[in-house]
A and B are shown apart, each in its own frame.
Chain A
Amino acid sequence: MLSTTDALNLYNRGAYVECSQALTRLGVVDSKLFPVFEKEANRWVKEADSSSVERRALVAASVALEIAHLFREQRSERAGHYLVWASLLMRKHQATPQSEAERYWYLASIAGFLEVDTYWKLTAGLGTDAGEFQDLMWALGPGGHLAAAWRRFPDEPRLLLARVEAEEYLSQGLGAQRVEPFSDVFTPERLQDLRMRAAARVPDSVHTIEEMVARSNRDLAVAALNHFRLIPQVESHFQALERYEGLRGEIELRVGFLEFLLANWGSALEHFDRVAAFTDDAYLLYLSEYFSGRTFQKLDDHDAAISAFERAQEIIPGARSVAVQLGKELFLNDRAGSRDRVYPLLSSAFAASAPDDPWRLYLRGDARLWPVYMAHLREALK
Chain B
Amino acid sequence: MKSLSCWIQRHILPICSLLLLPVTVTAAELELPNAIPGIITVSAEGLIELATESESLLLIDARLSADHKQGFIEGSISLPDTMTSCDTLSELTTDERRPLLFYCNGPKCERSIHAVRIARKCGYQNVFWFRGGLEEWKKKNYPFIRR
Do A and B truly interact?
no
Residues of A whose CB lies within 8 Å of any CB of B are none
